[in-house]
Amino acid sequence: MINNLVFVIVFLLGFYAILVKKNLIKMVIGLNIMEGAIFYWFISITDRGGMIPIVNGTQVASQMNDPVPQALILTGIVIGASTSAFLLTLIIELNKFTNSTNPDQIGGMIED
């Protein structure tokens, strides 16, 4: 239960950063916080006793941690890293044109 609560709070913190902060780099950090919340949540809710999933006779299958979520999260981390790297590149590029990182100058996020 505490895991779900932490997930919701941290996820909403990241979402708050994206909605409210007036700096594109802080918004990227908010995106990373949201991703981190999901990774933490996925790891914690699939935890089953913390044994390493290597079968050697004495291990009990029900106590082994499931390796699939860890593989998924590794992939997720790679995706998240590349996404934020590319976003930061774009922000540097925008900074060259306008000399600022304020999201309002690009029309904000909810205008077109």
Partner 1 sequence: MSIALILLIIVPLATAILIPFVDVFSNTARKLLVGFSTLVEFSLGMFIIVSNFRKIMDNTFYLTYYLGEWIPPIGITLSMDMLSLFFSTLISFSLLFLVIYSIGFIGHHEGKYYVLLFLIWAAMHGIVLTGDIFNLDVFLELLLITSAPLVAFKRNRNGTEAAIKYMFYGTIGGLFIFIGVVLVYYNLGTLNFADISQNFNTLSLFVRKIIASFFLIGIFIKMGIFPFHFWLSKAHSACPSSISALLSGVIVKVYVYVFIRLFWNVIGFDVLVETGLDHIILVVALISSIIGHIMALYENDIKRTLAYSTIANLGMIIAVLTLNTKLALLAGLLHVLAHLLMKVSLFTATGYILQFTPGHKREDLKGVAYKNMLVFVGFIIVAGGMIGLPPMIGFASKWYVLKAFMTDGLSLAAVIIIIGSIFAFVYYIKYIITGFKKMTLGPPDKFRLILTVFYRERVVTDIALFFAIAVLISGIFFKVVFGPIEGAVEVIQNPSFYIDYILSG
User: Taking CB under 8 A as the rule, which mask of x and - marks residues 40-69 in contact with partner 1?
Assistant: -xx--xx---------------------xx
Q: Contact with partner 1 (CB under 8 A): which of 26, 38, 65, 70?
A: 38
Distance, in Å, from the CA atom of 17 to the CA atom of 32, rounded to the nearest integer, reads 10
Distance, in Å, from the CA atom of 50 to the CA atom of 59, rounded to the nearest integer, reads 11
Structure tokens at 79: 């995706």
Reduce the DSSP state of residue 64 to 3 states and report it. strand
What number of other Cβ atoms are within 10 A of residue 35's Cβ?
20
Query: Rg for the chain (alpha carbons), in Å?
Result: 19
User: Taking CB under 8 A as the rule, which mask of x and - marks residues 71-110 in contact with partner 1?
Assistant: -x--xx--x--xx--xx--xx-xx--xx-------xx-xx
Where do contacts with partner 1 occur on this chain (CB under 8 A)? 18, 24, 27, 31, 34-35, 38, 41-42, 45-46, 68-69, 72, 75-76, 79, 82-83, 86-87, 90-91, 93-94, 97-98, 106-107, 109-112
